[in-house]
Amino acid sequence: MRLQPLNGHVLLEPVAPEEKTKGGIILPDTAREAPDEGVIEALPPNGSDEVAIGDRVLYKRYAGQEISFEGAKRRLVPVGDLLAKYVRADAIPD
């Protein structure tokens, strides 16, 4: 079964926040920030010109709706709440 987002939303797999600080301190769940990065898994039927499936993106921290689909946490985020996507350094125009 697949999940097809509608009404200008994208389906993201959130990237887990860091569990340790750079100094090696393990952070409890209550001290971790909400995720704000994810990998796009599905687009709405009309698609989007700026992002594609597989792109890693930044989105507004508390944007969208967290859902559970086939036992995994996912997030439905409006396309307008996407802030940026990661690109290779050689792909950025001058």
In terms of Cβ atoms closer than 10 Å to its own Cβ (0-12, 13-18, 19+), residue 42 is: middle
Would you give the end-to-end CA distance of the chain in angstroms?
Answer: 43
Q: Is residue 39 part of a domain?
A: yes
Please check whether residue 4 is in contact with residue 32, taking contact to mean a CB–CB distance below 8 angstroms.
no
Q: Is residue 75 part of a domain?
A: yes
Position 61 pLDDT exceeds 70: yes
pTM to 2 decimal places: 0.76
Q: Is residue 28 part of a domain?
A: no
Domain that holds residue 48: 1-16+34-87
- Average pLDDT (67-85) is 92
Q: How many domains does the chain divide into?
A: 1
Q: Is residue 41 part of a domain?
A: yes
Q: Is residue 23 part of a domain?
A: no
Give the CATH number for residue 9.
Answer: 2.30.33.40
Q: Is residue 47 part of a domain?
A: yes
In terms of Cβ atoms closer than 10 Å to its own Cβ (0-12, 13-18, 19+), residue 37 is: middle
Q: Is residue 93 part of a domain?
A: no
Please check whether residue 45 is in contact with residue 75, taking contact to mean a CB–CB distance below 8 angstroms.
no
